[in-house]
């Protein structure tokens, strides 16, 4: 069971994460350490060559990792990205994008995750992301 709710995440996005809010993320699945987020397609996400811009894909992956961390530790808003590596695998379609994130290892101070990005309706990922989050000390 997740230690944070969809409404709590929506509250954090509205109050403190303007870039994430601009992506209009929709949480599709929220389980402890297992998260899926949908980013609705918008024509202004396209860069030359007809592909979704890489920074938007990275933003979606990072947001997915943020939710994944909080799904296990609760509302700890100051958890932050310490590393993010993305491998672009193929050109995404001009439609909604799905990000499926899973926790690989959760420690006291660091969380390591992976995220696979998909064009909605496709089975093959368009990008693979790994990342680490720093968890602030409690108390």
What is the rounded distance in angstroms from the CA atom of residue 97 to the CA atom of residue 115?
12
- Give 3's DSSP letter: S
pTM above 0.75, yes or no: yes
Domains of the chain with CATH codes: 6-134 (3.10.129.10)
For the stretch 19-52, pLDDT in tens is 999 999 999 999 999 999 999 999 999 999 999 9
- Enumerate the β-bridge partners of residue 84: 131
* Planar angle of CA 24, 20, 9, nearest 5 degrees: 85
Token pair belonging to 5: 């709710």
For the stretch 88-114, pLDDT in tens is 999 999 999 999 999 999 999 999 999
């Amino acid at each position: 069971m997740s230690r944070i709710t969809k409404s709590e995440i929506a509250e954090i996005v509205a109050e403190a994460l303007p870039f994430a809010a601009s992506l209009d993320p929709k949480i599709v699945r929220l389980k402890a350490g297992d998260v899926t987020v949908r980013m609705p397609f918008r024509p202004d996400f396209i860069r030359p060559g007809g592909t979704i811009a890489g920074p938007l894909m990275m933003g979606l992956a990072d947001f997915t990792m943020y939710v994944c961390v909080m799904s296990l530790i609760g509302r700890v808003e100051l958890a932050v990205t310490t590393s993010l590596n993305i491998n672009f695998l193929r050109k995404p379609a001009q439609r909604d994008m799905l990000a499926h994130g899973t926790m690989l290892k959760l420690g006291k101070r660091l969380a390591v995750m992976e995220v696979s990005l998909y064009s909605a309706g496709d089975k093959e990922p368009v990008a693979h992301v790994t990342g680490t989050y720093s968890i602030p000390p409690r108390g």
